[in-house]
Structure 1
Amino acid sequence: MIGLLVNDIEQQEIEYLIKRELEELLMDLDDNRIDRMVKVAMFKRYRILFQLFRRVANEKECLKYMPKKIKNK
Structure 2
Amino acid sequence: MMGMLFNEKECKELNYVLRRELDEMLLDMSDKRLDQDIRNAIALRYKTVFRMYARLAAPKELSKYAIRGRISE
State the AA in 1 paired with 2:64. K
Could you say what the CA RMSD is over the residues aligned between the two structures, in angstroms?
Answer: 1.1
Structure 2 unaligned residues grouped into runs of 5+:
none
User: Within 5 Å, which residues of 2 pair with 1:1-73?
Assistant: 1-69=1-69, 70-71=71-72, 73=73
Count, aligned residues: 72
* % identity of equivalent residues: 38
Q: Which runs of 5+ in 1 are unaligned?
A: none
Shift in Å, 1:68 = 3.0
One-letter amino acid of the structure 1 residue matched with residue 30 of structure 2: D
**What displacement does 1:64 show?**
0.6
Q: TM-score by structure 2 length?
A: 0.91
Q: What letter matches 1:16 in structure 2?
A: Y
* Residues 36-45 or 60-69, more deviating: 60-69
Runs of 4+ in structure 1 off by over 6 angstroms are none
Q: CA deviation at 1:63?
A: 1.0
Distance in 2 of aligned mates of 1:9 and 1:62? 20
Normalising by structure 1, we get a TM-score of: 0.91
Contact kept? 1:50, 1:67, Cα under 8 Å: no
For the Cα contact (< 8 Å) 1:47–1:67, is it kept in 2? no
